[in-house]
């Protein structure tokens, strides 16, 4: 046999072999679809329905107010990521001067780079400042610098927060979630009050959570340490309930006399990096089950950070809210928080204890 004939025979044999492999593949796929077609239809249908539900109802289009914020200065704590990032981005587009407050300057610089690449805005309007809410010293240093260097403060958005944390106690001796979400912001707000008064009508917006509703009572002996907490959510609901209770008192004390209005809100379930420490916090076996379930539920039910920021932005910019007595918002609508969060005695007691804790 010639060399050419050998080559042709080899090619024919190999192409017949690959054809039969393809045939086999087709037949296996065909068999698989035949056997599992109902399951495949149900799964595909469910996924499409979940995706559609999310697009049509959870992250649906929204005609936001076009209120300009030109000439106003807004602080957004935790503005380097998630809901805070989207809030800062929106406010920059409304021409506000935005101060992004972050605990990690590298992450902050990355957020600034991302903002510059995503939107057009006056670069003079953006400032990045460092503050770790889990350190009272850091909060005091930040407030001092801010009060010296910045002319105005029209809206203070207390957005930064932790839902899970591997650190239990901060160097100030408080539970880290309580300090990041509540005590740090409590001190910050008090140290910036004079600036807010100077710029009246001004606003304080506290990003709370629907989780506050699971708080039924307050154990004052453990309020800021939370050593006795066994709830699945840990100290998170308490930190969010404290935010609303102190906002309730602030609104009562400042709206009529000082022209500073205070709002709190629930952004809804938003898929952000706040959930990323969840796996660690849950422990290996629980994470193996709970985290995948959350990832599946996220497809129909979770908001994007942009949608999640809508209620914060609404509370910060909506002119009709200037004299509003509503305290708590969900999906840009006023709703009632739990009764525990509008109790005068509890609000006064919390205020007194918080002021002592942070050294005011």
Ligand X SMILES: NC(=O)c1ccc[n+]([C@@H]2O[C@H](COP(=O)([O-])OP(=O)(O)OC[C@H]3O[C@@H](n4cnc5c(N)ncnc54)[C@H](OP(=O)(O)O)[C@@H]3O)[C@@H](O)[C@H]2O)c1
Interacting residue ranges for ligand X, rule: CB under 6 A: 77-78, 80-84, 102-104, 107, 132-134, 159-163, 180-181, 207, 209, 267, 269-270, 272-274
- Kindly state the smallest distance separating residue 35's Cβ from ligand X, in Å: 40
Nearer to ligand X, 261 or 264 (CB): 264
- Kindly state the smallest distance separating residue 102's Cβ from ligand X, in Å: 6
Q: Where are the beta strands (DSSP E) in the chain?
A: 73-77, 97-102, 126-130, 155-158, 202-207, 260-266, 328-330, 333-335
Nearer to ligand X, 155 or 199 (CB): 155
CA distances from 65 to 151, 165, 240, 315 (A): 26, 36, 27, 11
**236 an active-site residue?**
yes
Q: How far apart (Å, rounded) are the C-alpha atoms in residues 261 and 249? A: 11
Q: How far apart (Å, rounded) are the C-alpha atoms in residues 111 and 89? A: 10
Nearer to ligand X, 106 or 120 (CB): 106
Nearer to ligand X, 139 or 196 (CB): 139
Nearer to ligand X, 244 or 346 (CB): 244
In terms of DSSP H, where are the helices of 259-304?
278-282, 284-301
- Kindly state the smallest distance separating residue 276's Cβ from ligand X, in Å: 7
Q: Which residue has the tokens 């989780």?
A: 211
In terms of DSSP H, where are the helices of 54-135?
82-93, 105-118
For residue 73 the two structure tokens come to 């200065």
- Kindly state the smallest distance separating residue 305's Cβ from ligand X, in Å: 6
Given the residues 146, 182, 236, 248, select the one marked as catalytic. Answer: 236
- Kindly state the smallest distance separating residue 114's Cβ from ligand X, in Å: 13
CA distances from 337 to 204, 248, 256, 326 (A): 17, 10, 21, 10
CB 154 within 8 A of CB 202: yes
CB 135 within 8 A of CB 170: yes
Q: Which residues are catalytic?
A: 236
């Amino acid at each position: 046999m010639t060399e050419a004939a050998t080559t042709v025979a080899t090619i024919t044999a190999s192409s017949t072999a690959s054809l039969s492999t393809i045939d086999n593949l087709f037949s296996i796929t065909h068999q698989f679809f035949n056997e599992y077609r109902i399951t495949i239809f149900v799964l595909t249908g469910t996924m499409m329905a979940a995706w559609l539900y999310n697009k049509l109802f959870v992250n649906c289009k929204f005609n936001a107010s076009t209120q300009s914020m030109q000439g106003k200065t807004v602080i957004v704590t935790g503005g380097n990521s998630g809901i805070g990032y989207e809030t800062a981005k929106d406010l920059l587009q409304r021409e506000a001067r935005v101060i992004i407050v972050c605990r990690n300057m590298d992450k902050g610089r990355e957020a600034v780079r991302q903002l510059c690449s995503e939107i057009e805005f006056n670069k003079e309007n953006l400032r990045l400042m460092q503050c770790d809410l889990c350190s009272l010293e850091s909060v005091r240093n930040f407030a001092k610098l801010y009060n010296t260097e910045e002319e105005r403060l029209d809206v203070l958005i207390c957005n930064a927060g932790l839902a899970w944390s591997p650190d239990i106690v901060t160097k100030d001796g408080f539970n880290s979630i309580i300090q990041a979400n509540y005590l740090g912001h409590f001190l910050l707000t008090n140290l910036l009050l004079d600036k807010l008064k100077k710029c009246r009508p001004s606003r304080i917006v506290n990003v709370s959570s629907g989780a506050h509703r699971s708080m039924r009572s307050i154990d004052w002996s453990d309020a800021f340490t939370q050593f006795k907490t066994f709830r699945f959510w840990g100290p998170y609901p308490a930190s969010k309930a404290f935010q609303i209770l102190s906002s309730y008192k602030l609104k009562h004390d400042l709206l009529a006399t000082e022209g500073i209005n205070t709002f709190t809100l629930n952004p809804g379930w938003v898929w952000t990096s706040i959930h990323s420490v969840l796996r660690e916090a849950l422990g290996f076996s629980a994470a193996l089950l709970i985290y995948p379930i959350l990832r599946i539920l996220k497809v129909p039910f979770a908001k994007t950070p942009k949608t999640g920021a809508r209620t914060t932005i609404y509370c910060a910019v909506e002119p009709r809210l200037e004299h509003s007595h509503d305290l708590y918002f969900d999906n840009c609508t006023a709703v009632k928080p739990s009764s525990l969060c509008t109790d005068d005695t509890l609000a006064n007691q919390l205020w007194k204890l918080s002021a002592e804790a942070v050294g005011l």
